[in-house]
């Protein structure tokens, strides 16, 4: 029962820009807790992609960017590449649940 | 670099206890700089946080699993462990161990281990 809602899928042609939304509530994103994003390539463990809403760990291409506003956050991928085809998850903390929470996940398909 | 590796039985019978261990290399759990966590993912589904442990042994669990979960740490072996009791088929999943970095991020993950609950 994820408390962060993401679209099940998004798609785009190579080179295009796609965005993934992550909608929360006043007890998680809206309460000011940071949002983080993970990329999960097929058959592998998730990998931290964006932390603290907008920051990229070393080695993550600047094609990936994050933002947060109100009770929502977004991940943008510009210049979409075939290797970006993966599942993406947002993550935050929920004060009502006293738990780390993940988004429902979004599958990105490169057409 | 820091690496995490899960280990444990891949098959557990219903009503029994699932037990997994995560071995940390390249960092000392005793450093006290991080929390250490378990996360699971049923096939084709999303991620679910199970719980976390600190060097001191203090724990925090997902309320939805709290009654069945125990996470512990063994600093002498640089390991932390998960026990999930009274398992059912719904507990079948890939189980990941992860380091909890700053800002409550899961910054380093193990490769995951598949656990099937079946008689």
- From chain B, the residues in CB contact with A101 under 8 A are 49
Residues paired with B48 in a beta bridge: B40
Select from B22, B39, B95, B105 the residue whose CB has the most chain A CBs within 10 Å, as the one to mutate to test that interface: B105
CA dist., res. B35 & res. B52, Å (int) = 6
Residue B33 has a pLDDT of 84
User: Using the beta-carbon criterion (under 8 Å), do A52 and B60 form an inter-chain contact?
Assistant: no
Residue B103 has a pLDDT of 81
CA dist., res. A82 & res. A48, Å (int) = 19
pLDDT tens digit sequence for A17-50: 999 999 999 999 999 999 999 999 999 999 999 9
Q: In the numeric block, which tokens belong to residue A100? A: 């780390």
Share of chain A above pLDDT 90, in %: 97
């Amino acid at each position: 029962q994820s408390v962060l809602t993401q679209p099940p899928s998004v798609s785009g042609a190579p080179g295009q820009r796609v965005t993934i939304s992550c909608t929360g509530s006043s007890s998680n994103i809206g309460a000011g807790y940071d949002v983080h994003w993970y990329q999960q390539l097929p058959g592998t463990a998730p990998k931290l992609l964006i932390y603290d809403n907008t920051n990229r760990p070393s080695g993550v291409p600047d094609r990936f960017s994050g933002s947060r506003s109100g009770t929502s956050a977004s991940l943008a991928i510009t210049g979409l590449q075939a290797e970006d085809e993966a599942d993406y998850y947002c993550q935050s903390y929920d004060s009502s649940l006293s738990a780390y929470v993940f988004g429902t996940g979004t599958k990105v398909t490169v057409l | 670099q820091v690496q995490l590796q899960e280990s444990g039985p891949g098959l557990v019978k219903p009503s029994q206890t699932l037990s997994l261990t995560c071995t940390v290399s390249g960092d000392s759990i005793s450093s006290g700089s991080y929390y250490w966590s378990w996360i699971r993912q049923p096939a084709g589904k999303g991620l679910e946080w199970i719980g976390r442990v600190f060097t001191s042994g203090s724990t925090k669990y997902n309320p939805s699993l709290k009654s069945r979960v125990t996470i512990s740490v063994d600093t002498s072996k640089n390991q932390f462990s998960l026990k999930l009791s009274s398992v059912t088929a719904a507990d079948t999943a890939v189980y990941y161990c992860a380091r909890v970095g700053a800002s409550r991020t899961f910054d380093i993950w193990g490769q995951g281990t598949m656990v099937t609950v079946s008689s």
